[in-house]
Every structure is written in C-alpha cells, then in structure tokens.
Copies of this chain bind each other. A is one copy, B any other.
Amino acid sequence: MPRHFTHLKDFTIGELDGLVDAASSLKKSAPSSFPLAGRSLAFCFMNPSLRTQVSFSVATASLGGHPVTLSLGSGGTWGMESVEGVVMDGSAAEHLKEAVPVLGRMCQGLGLRSFPAGKSWAEDKTEPALAAFLKYSTVPVINMESAGGHPCQALADLMTIRERMRPKGKNFLLSWAPHVKPLPMAVANSAVEMAAMAGMNVTIARPEGYDLDPEVMARVSRNCAANGATVRVTDEVPQAFDGQHVVYGKSWGSLANYGEPPSSDPVFRRKWTISAEKMRRTSGALFMHCLPVRRNLVVDDAVLDGPWSVVVDQAENRLHTAKAVLLHLLASPAKSSTASARRHRK
C-alpha cells in the first residue's frame, strides 16, 4: 500500500517533528539534487486555493518533478461521483473509481482539496471524495484540506511555532472569529490537534454552539493528558487571551446550526474579532492565521500589521513543508508508474 499524508492522527509528534526538521533544512538551502526528476504529481482542486496551489506547484518543480494543477469536478473537468453503486444519470459524468486510478497511472502522487458540502456534518465527516481517493489510489495521496482537517497547514504552523519557541508546556489559544460565511472546520481541527500533539496547553475560545467535533476533542484531550498539558473550552473573551503564547485566529461554522452563517450582530462581531487590545493581554503571543483572512472582521489591521503577526511566515512555511511531505512520500528510487501500478493489478 502506498504511503499517504492525509490526517494528523496517523502520525506521531516525532514523525511530524521529523518532517519539520526536513522542511527547515530545505528552507536554508535548496536541494542539491532533483529527487523528483521524472515524476509527475496531479494536484486536484475541488475548491479554490492560493497558497496550497502555489506551494505544491513550486515545491514539486524545485525538487525536479512536474506538477499538474487540476480543477476536478469544476472548471476544466466535469462533476465526480464518489458513492458506489449509484445509477449515474445525474450531473456527475465520471466516478472517482475510474478517475483516481487513471491519475495514478499517469502520475506518481496525487493531492486533493475537497471542502465539506455544508448540508450534513454526518455526511461531510465521512469525507467522501478523500475516502474515494484513498480507496482507489495506488500512489501516495496528500490531503490538501478535507472536511475534517488540513494537515499541511498544521505542519507549516508547527514549523512556524518551533522557529520561535519550544512548544512543549507553552499556552495555545484557538480563538473563534466572526465571518460572513459558515467556513469549514478543517484548519481549526488541525491547529488544536497539532498543538495538543506538541505538548501545548490548549484553550479554545468560541461562542455557544461552535464546539468542535467530539472526536477531534477526544484526541486533543488524550494528547494533552499524555503530555501533562491542560485543555479548556470557554466563551470568556477577552479573558481567554491572558497568558497565551500563541493565538490562532480562525472562523468556522457551527455544528449546531450546520451550514448557517454566524450572527452579523455588530456587538457579537466586536466581541469576537481579534483586536490589539486582546493581544496585549497575552504573554507576547504570536498571532497565527492560515489565510485568506478578512481584515477587521476576523482580526483587526492593528494585529495583522503589528508585532504579533506571523501569518506570512506561516504561508512561506507551506512551501518548505510541502517539499518535506513530497520527499517523505516519494523520495525512494524512481520507479515507473506503470511498473508500480502493475503490482496493484489483479
């Protein structure tokens, strides 16, 4: 079975730290050889992307590989079916049961970005497109953000924290933020999972109704306990900012009112927008965000333009960690995709 990079829970903190170490080396100096020479990778986007698209394209090219960026199920292609056994007389013209193996015959690795549909969390949580990629692929698959997680972002975030502090025992606040849309929870999930794995004390500040998925919280609690760290969920802001070393701002949609946007009430918004006043309560915390970010709604200009912000560094680290992930998955001696695919037939 091929290696994949799909969820943080499949890795130990030692493995994640190893990837960050590799990324740090690649940040200092370009690779002297081209370990991906002769390999092609297809990065499949079912949703828009800027950092992920550019980072994987540049990372692949810088390692000597050939990146193919695809709009899958939109733009240049047609809708994709992921459910087995259906009569395909609707809008989807191709089943992932064909598309994924086909891409695996032409390319030596695949990436997938697939957001939740936003109708039912129970259904979105099964991550049907990613599950189909994992089921049908004979080559490594990279999760470039699914309903449940964004592990590539979390890896860049871990790297960004480690560049500035030893995370173990430090205080990490995930602070919910207002928005005009009910955003996916993937980044929030991965951020707290990463912080818990890294041994940080985790605080989640969010309004009533914005709890993360219980399975995510169970993993966070387990990892914090194992590390002798604390977990706290609160709606008390700005007090939650007191003593924090890292503030991770992020909006996400409510599980209780799934698919509905947060309140646009100005008082509610102002309570939750991350401000310089709140940041001044911290122990000189870093301000982190995965980007894109809506200024003066999620977070004030004064924070993003102030001494706290490391958001552009996080983004740059997406490039270096992408290289590390590609090397981790693919940097064995080159084999032709055909030969490798053939082993999986019959």
Contacts and interface: CB of A to CB of B under 8 A. Distances in A.
A336 B102 contact: no
Contacts of A304: 97-98
Nearest to A38: B30
A316 B102 contact: yes
Interface string A263-277: 010000000000000
Interface string A160-193: 0000000000000000000010000000000000
**In the assembly, how many copies of this chain are there?**
3
Given A95-B295, A102-B315, A316-B341, A42 B54 contact: yes
A132 interface: no
Nearest to A93: B292
For chain A, what secondary structure do more than half of its interface residues adopt (helix, strand, loop), or is it mixed?
mixed
A223 interface: no
A103 to B, nearest CB: 7
Contacts of A328: none
A78 interface: yes
Contact of A338 (B48, B85, B315, B316): B316
A125 interface: no
Contacts of A316: 102, 105-106, 338, 341
Interface in A42-100: 42, 45, 48-51, 53-55, 57-58, 61-62, 66, 68-72, 75-78, 81, 84-90, 92-95, 97-99
Nearest to A180: B89
Contact of A295 (B62, B77, B88, B295): B88
Contact of A70 (B28, B53, B101): B53
Contacts of A61: 40, 66
B89 A76 contact: no
A312 interface: yes
Contacts of A40: 57-58, 61-62
A225 interface: no
A55 to B, nearest CB: 6
A33 interface: no
Given A76-B53, A316-B106, A336 B30 contact: yes
Contacts of A42: 54
A52 B101 CA distance: 15
A155 interface: no
8 contacts: A40-B62, A57-B66, A75-B76, A86-B295, A94-B291, A95-B293, A98-B304, A106-B316
